[in-house]
Every structure is written in structure tokens, then in C-alpha cells.
Amino acid sequence: MTFLWAFLVGGAICLVGQFLLDVMKLTPAHTMASLVVAGAVLNGVGLYEPLAKFAGAGASVPITSFGNALMKGAMAEAEKDGLIGVITGIFEVTSAGISAAIVFGFLVAVCFRPKG
């Protein structure tokens, strides 16, 4: 069942992205930035976590989850350490994604050449 929701929710978020690209004529960078901010906002109003619970990868794979993860890190740290946690905790949860992207991106750049 989670698989069906993963497919539907993931597809729907990508649909929103396509809308921003084709109808609102945003650049890919603007589109992705908007979606990340949307993820952070949805976490802020308490909607992203419930979505992640029933949609599984449908909510954790799209770039919106990056905004959600940044918020989770910041809020968790703020609960522990107070206001300063907002700064110190931001990258706690997203560390895997960013580190993986940097490391694998670097390795591929070393081993491959662009094909044009």
C-alpha cells in the first residue's frame, strides 16, 4: 500500500514541479528552490511529517524533503539547546544527502568525461 502512495505522492510533487517549469516558466533553479522552501514551510505548519508517514519514499525522495529535513534538524537542536540550535542543527539530518552528492559527484567527475 505504501508503494501505491509513494508512486502517487511522488508523481504529484513532480507534477507541481512541471507546472512551475512549463506554466509559470520558472528556471529549473527557481523551481527547485521553490520546492525546497515549500518543504520547509510544510514542515513548519506540521504537514510534512504526516505526509511522510503514509507516502514513504513519495515524500522522502523529492527535493521537498530536503527542506523538511533542514527544518527537522533545526527544530530538534533548538529544543535541546534553545535558540542557538536553529543555527547549529540545520545540517544534522541532511548530512547524508549532501555528503553523498559531493563525494559521488567528485568521484564521477574524476572517472568519467562529459559526452556533450
Partner 1 sequence: MADKKKKKLTLTQQEYQQLAKRHEPPRPLTRNFIRAFLVGGVICLIGQGIQEMFIHFFDFTEKTAGNPTVAVLILLSALLTGLGWYDRIAQWAGAGTAVPVTGFANSITSAALEHRSEGLVLGVGGNMFKLAGSVIVMGVVAAFAISLIKTLINMGG
Partner 2 sequence: MRKGYQSWVFPSRPVIVGRAAIGGPFEAQGPLANDFDTLHGDLMIGQDSWEKAERVLLEEACDKAIEKAGLRREQIHFMLAGDLMNQTISANFAARTLSIPFMGIFGACSTAMEGLALAALLVDSQSADYVLAATSSHNSSAEKQYRYPTEYGSQKPPTAQWTVTGAGASVVANQGNGLRVTAATIGKIVDMGMTDPFNMGGAMAPAALSTIESHFRDLQLSHDHYDLVVTGDLGKVGHSILSELLPKHNVNIPLKRYVDCGMLIYGDNPIVWSGGSGCGCCATVTYGHLLRRFQEGEWKRILVVATGALLSPISYQQGESIPCIAHAVAIEADTL
| Contact positions vs partner 2 (CB under 8 A) | 21, 28, 113-116
Q: How far is the CB of 79 from partner 2 (least distance, A)?
A: 38
Q: How far is the CB of 50 from partner 1 (least distance, A)?
A: 14
Q: Cβ(58)–Cβ(76) under 8 Å?
A: no
The residue assigned the cell 514513504 is: 56
Identify which of residues 2 and 27 has a Cβ nearer to partner 2 in the complex.
27
Neighbours of 43 (CB within 10 A): 23
Identify which of residues 50 and 101 has a Cβ nearer to partner 1 in the complex.
101
Q: What is the x/- site pattern for partner 1, positions 35-54, by CB under 8 A?
A: xxx-xxx-xx----------
Q: Measured between alpha carbons, how far is 55 from 29 in angstroms, rounded to an integer?
A: 25
